[in-house]
Amino acid sequence: MTPGRSKRAASKPAAMKRASTRHAASQRAAKKAGGGRPAGARSAVSRQTRSRPGTPSRRGRATPENAAEIFRRLRAAYPDAHTALNHTNAYQLLVATILSAQCTDARVNVVTPSLFARYPDPATLAAADRGELEQLIKSTGFFRNKAKSLIGMARAVVANHNGAIPQTMEELVHLPGVGRKTANVVLGNAFGRNDGIVVDTHVTRLSQRLGLTRQGDPVKIEQDLMRLFPPEQWTLLAHLFIEHGRRICDARLPKCGECVLVDLCPSARVP
């Protein structure tokens, strides 16, 4: 045996010993991080704990079957779900919806009684003094922009629609301050038309958590939901999601232990 070969042979056991030491250290670190289990085993146990027997294959699947079950359960849980904005006609609902941007429905409902008493229809709102209007709606936030939108909307309704709130998506979104979400609110709740789905922060959050969409843009989320749910459910679906989002599926601290959708939700956190 040559001296060089003998030196390599002698170094092999030492290299194996170092590798073994590194592996043992890695295993100890993994166990410590996982509470006594390797990291991979920990995540597997966590997933198993969150799943209910017989349902994990349905968890987070964006299918019409899952969508139908989600709708059925939420409708049973919230049989009285409806828009929280107080109104008696399409004009009042349109005004209230414009005011609700970046504001709670409860605050809007505090403001609108005096607002509607002062401006009972589009014609009176179209002739409103902007400074006076701003003071009436100041507590809803962004009151200058909202006052501008309200007066512009009212003037367009008077000039182009004979003072009547239009009943089509195309006409509504051409009004100042009115986007697709606002138009969906008015069409669905004032006119009983299911032309689309209202996508607000609650609907966005629940749709993503339930695995019904991977999108972040409201228009794309709406399109995904419209493919999963039949048109006759679109208006009520938004109310159900909003109600569930307010009561159970909170943005920061969801109450997964109380959720009727826990076995269908890939984001569920159940100990």
Q: Which residues are part of the catalytic machinery?
A: 181, 200
Angle between helices 234-247 and 201-209 (to 10 degrees): 90
Long-range Cβ contacts of 122-130 (<8 Å, 24+ apart) = 122/91, 122/153, 122/154, 122/157, 122/158, 122/163, 122/165, 123/154, 123/158, 123/163, 125/95, 125/150, 125/151, 125/153, 125/154, 126/151, 126/154, 126/155, 126/157, 126/158, 128/154
The DSSP letter of residue 225 is: H
Q: Among 237, 266, 270, which Cα is nearest to 255's?
A: 270
Cα separation of 222 and 15, whole Å?
60
- Say which residue the tokens 């904005």 belong to: 85
Cα separation of 6 and 41, whole Å?
43
**Exposure letters 142-168 (e unless 16+ CB within 10 A, then b):** ebeebbebbbebbbbbbeeeeeebbbe
Q: How many CB atoms lie within 10 A of CB 129?
A: 10
- Reported as type and span, the H/E element at residue 33 is helix 3-33
Q: Among 138, 90, 83, which Cα is nearest to 105's?
A: 83
